[in-house]
Structure 1
Amino acid sequence: MDRPGFTASLVAGGVAGVSVDLILFPLDTIKTRLQSPQGFYKAGGFYGVYAGVPSTAIGSFPNAAAFFVTYEYVKWILHTDSSSYLMPVTHMLAASVGEVVACLIRVPSEVVKQRAQVSASSGTFHIFSNILCQEGIQGLYRGYKSTVLREALWSWRQDRVVDSWQAAVCGAFAGGFAAAVTTPLDVAKTRIMLAKAGSSTASGNILSALHAVWRTQGLSGLFAGVFPRMAAISLGGFIFLGVYDQTRSFLLELGRESP
């Protein structure tokens, strides 16, 4: 990838990620509290829906930028002709690799954020310090496997077409559908991240976490928070891909006009 394209992807991905995460943060908080083992109202209900936003604000730009830089770079390496039948596979592979890289930044931010969302009285830095003191670096990566698996299963949504509005609409519909299908994995991820240190759930076993939810809450537990999650990801797909395309196009045009 040429230097202007690399820089444009970096900045556009970061701007798009920050826009989505901050605008839709209340929906994410409600979803997390619905999935919390302590129950929605005990986790905070509708109170303090911006709890944990500092963690998101700090991690959002590098997380989104890492995804899109990797995404564009893998597509550039594979260099599949736009008319080739392999183009969808190229997009899927690039998005999957992008998610694996982005999760290295996303998961620590997500762990801190989710714990703050269900404990609004505790500050972000206090939660971060406690995790490091009690569990070390591995505590910040609790739920990494479930997060990567969840993201990889719907990474195909990143297949974009030329126009920004088309990319946004495709992102919204594909993201909403994928959000519903992958909700059980999201529930498992939330339970793993919120579990007490040393518990069986905290070990990160996805199947064990899903079985525990099924045993205590049944199907409704596995799909807890599905509607706010679908709404957030559908709107997020629209905003994210639309903002990314527009920002990247603007930056590339600006680069061409500069001497």
Structure 2
Amino acid sequence: MLESLRLLLHPFLMVACLIRVPSEVVKQRAQVSASSRTFQIFSTILCEEGIQGLYRGYKSTVLREIPFSLVQFPLWEFLKALWSWRRGHVVDSWQSAVCGAFAGGFAAAVTTPLDVAKTRIMLAKAGSSTASGNVLSALHGVWQSQGLTGLFAGVFPRMAAISLGGFIFLGAYDQTRGLLLEVGRKSP
């Protein structure tokens, strides 16, 4: 069942990235720009690079999201099962949230190099070799210039943010799922 869920999840991740990537490109460029005017940055990208500029980093984002999900969700399920087994009862929603925080943080840590490559691709000067979107080339460039430290740049803030998100979203998901199952059992 989990395997079929993972296979279904991939197309949804790819579609979600159709929305996420342009907003991420604009956000990142606003963060490093002298101007923080979002519409101006958006317009500049469209004028100078076309629609491709808004989708620069799409492939690298998908290549980050899929391994992230393939680590986070099975680990979350494993941690919940382990906690249930050790305590002798199904985990509560808050316990599921704690498992989600750990799973999210771990997945964030191991996929940070892919996030670094995605960021470098999105922020690269138009027309540069990095802007072409080759993830392996971007990773190699970071490795050569900054080594392992560069590949894991920002790992702790990323882990913290995603752990918090895992706690909130996976805990809320588990709570909602439990409530819906209970309502379903009470229905005639």
Q: Same fold (TM over 0.5)?
A: yes
Tell me how far 1:173 sits from its aligned partner.
Answer: 1.2
* 2:33 equivalent to 1:119: yes
Which position in structure 2 is the counterpart of 1:178?
107
Tell me how far 1:199 sits from its aligned partner.
Answer: 0.8
| Equivalent-residue separation in structure 1 for 2:128 and 2:153 (angstroms) | 22
| Equivalent-residue separation in structure 2 for 1:250 and 1:119 (angstroms) | 46
Which position in structure 1 is the counterpart of 2:126?
197
| Equivalent-residue separation in structure 1 for 2:127 and 2:171 (angstroms) | 42
| Equivalent-residue separation in structure 1 for 2:176 and 2:53 (angstroms) | 35
> Structure 2 matches for 1:95-134, cutoff 5 A?
95-119=9-33, 121-134=35-48
| Equivalent-residue separation in structure 1 for 2:45 and 2:182 (angstroms) | 44
- Against the structure 1 CA distance between its residues 243 and 201, is the aligned structure 2 distance closer, same or farther, given a 3 Å change threshold? same
Q: Which has the larger Rg?
A: 2
Match of 2:143, as an amino acid? W
* 2:7 equivalent to 1:93: yes
Between Structure 1 and Structure 2, how many residues are aligned? 171
- Structure 2 counterpart SS, 1:199: coil
> Structure 2 matches for 1:140-151, cutoff 5 A?
140-151=54-65
RMSD across aligned C-alpha pairs, in angstroms?
2.6
| Equivalent-residue separation in structure 2 for 1:107 and 1:249 (angstroms) | 33
| Equivalent-residue separation in structure 1 for 2:16 and 2:181 (angstroms) | 23
- Structure 2 counterpart SS, 1:154: helix
- Against the structure 1 CA distance between its residues 233 and 153, is the aligned structure 2 distance closer, same or farther, given a 3 Å change threshold? same
Which position in structure 2 is the counterpart of 1:32?
none
TM-score, normalised via structure 1 length: 0.59
Tell me how far 1:88 sits from its aligned partner.
Answer: 2.1
Which position in structure 2 is the counterpart of 1:14?
none
Tell me how far 1:170 sits from its aligned partner.
Answer: 2.5
Q: What percent identity do the matched residue pairs reach?
A: 79
| Equivalent-residue separation in structure 1 for 2:6 and 2:100 (angstroms) | 14
| Equivalent-residue separation in structure 2 for 1:129 and 1:250 (angstroms) | 45
Tell me how far 1:90 sits from its aligned partner.
Answer: 2.4
Tell me how far 1:201 sits from its aligned partner.
Answer: 0.6
The answer to which structure has the higher helix fraction is: 2
Match of 1:196, as an amino acid? K
| Equivalent-residue separation in structure 2 for 1:134 and 1:251 (angstroms) | 49
Which position in structure 2 is the counterpart of 1:234?
163
| Equivalent-residue separation in structure 2 for 1:128 and 1:114 (angstroms) | 11
- Mark the runs of 5 or more structure 1 residues left unpaired by the alignment: 1-86, 255-259
TM-score, normalised via structure 2 length: 0.79
Which position in structure 2 is the counterpart of 1:62?
none
| Equivalent-residue separation in structure 2 for 1:199 and 1:211 (angstroms) | 15
- Structure 2 counterpart SS, 1:224: coil
